Amino acid sequence: MDKRTFRIGQIADVHLIADNDEADHLKSVESFEKTLADADKFDLDLLVISGDMTEHSFPQEYQLFFEMMKAYSGKWCMIAGNHDKSADIARYSPFPIELHHGEYFYKKTVNEVALFFLDSSTDSVSKSQLEWLKEEAAKESKEIFIFMHHPPCLCGHLFMDSRYALKNWNETKSVMEEIPNLRAIFTGHYHSAMEVNLENGKKVYLTPATQMQLNPDVSEFNIISTVPGWRYIEYKNEKISTELRYL
């Protein structure tokens, strides 16, 4: 029996608001509650909160996030987005978080599958992270997967590509394309569900946001939906299948 299987949920771009407009606060809480409750139905091996947990990186927003995560019954982990600060995540986390020169990146194994979690909260992936990724990926003989907030490439999203793309996407993309056992990269940030093919059979999956969905076909900020979404990911018999869940 092949033990290298997983069932992972990915939630992106929660943007919790604690002390701003009351309507925005209530909407952010309601959307996240719905998303967590839906993910909890799936008996996941892991739930990944892939950045922008907060809107402003305020202490109250982190406190709200960690309090709300108590409602989730399974295993979960998180990474930082550009609306978060890694040092603040570590400061307000109720469990210990190890930073590497101020960055929050790490490797985790789920059912014998190596997963890599990168920190792009500064709108770039540092050279030290990319070196670490190459070195650690080389230690793995089987397929690996990456979770990060920003896509490591341009995606054909007219608004986000032109204004909020990863600053060093070209360098990051080149490094990832050269890792022979890297299978897929799962990201958020663009507030859109998209799939982008890289070289050597690798694919980037962009997960919809909990907060709102943006129109990828126009160059200006344009909300097309405030329905929260998340991505269910299954890996079995060396095949990836995903389902987008809108609530």
Domain limits at 99?
6-246
For residue 78, give the amino acid letter: M
Task: For the chain, give percent helix, strand, coil, nearest 5.
Answer: 30, 30, 45
- Does any domain span residue 222? yes
Mean pLDDT value of segment 163-185 = 97
Statement: residue 1 has pLDDT above 70: no
DSSP state of 42: G
Statement: residue 165 has pLDDT above 70: yes
Which residues does 193 contact at the CB level (< 8 Å), separation at least 6? 206, 207, 208, 213, 229, 231, 244
12-56 tens-digit pLDDT: 999 999 876 677 888 999 999 999 999 999 999 999 999 999 999
- Does any domain span residue 238? yes
222-247 tens-digit pLDDT: 999 999 999 999 999 999 999 999 99
CB 11 within 8 A of CB 81: no
Q: What pLDDT score does 230 carry?
A: 98
Q: How many domains does the chain have?
A: 1
The CATH number of residue 50's host domain is 3.60.21.10
Q: What pLDDT score does 68 carry?
A: 96
Dist. CA 226–CA 21, nearest whole Å:
17
CB 244 within 8 A of CB 21: no
Mean pLDDT value of segment 132-137 = 98
Q: What pLDDT score does 22 carry?
A: 72
Q: What pLDDT score does 3 carry?
A: 79
For residue 34, give the amino acid letter: K
Lookup: tokens for 216: 């990828």
Q: What pLDDT score does 18 carry?
A: 86
Statement: residue 69 has pLDDT above 80: yes
Please state, in angstroms and as integers, the Cα–Cα distance from residue 61 to each residue in 34, 55, 121, 240, following that order. Answer: 18, 8, 16, 34
Of 9, 11, 97, 100, nearest to 53 (Cα)?
Answer: 11
Mean pLDDT value of segment 131-154 = 97
Please state, in angstroms and as integers, the Cα–Cα distance from residue 13 to each residue in 95, 131, 140, 202, following that order. Answer: 22, 27, 30, 23
Total residue length of the chain: 247
- Does any domain span residue 59? yes
pTM of the model: 0.96
- Does any domain span residue 1? no
CB 189 within 8 A of CB 52: yes
Dist. CA 48–CA 79, nearest whole Å:
8
- Does any domain span residue 150? yes
Q: What pLDDT score does 4 carry?
A: 87
Dist. CA 27–CA 17, nearest whole Å:
9
- Does any domain span residue 18? yes
Statement: residue 86 has pLDDT above 70: yes
- Does any domain span residue 113? yes
Lookup: tokens for 202: 């690798």
Q: What pLDDT score does 87 carry?
A: 97
- Does any domain span residue 45? yes
Q: What pLDDT score does 2 carry?
A: 67
Mean pLDDT value of segment 99-117 = 97
Please count the other Cβ atoms lying within 10 Å of the Cβ belonging to residue 206.
Answer: 25
Q: Which of the four pLDDT bands, split at 50, 70 and 90, describes residue 205? A: very high
CB 109 within 8 A of CB 79: no
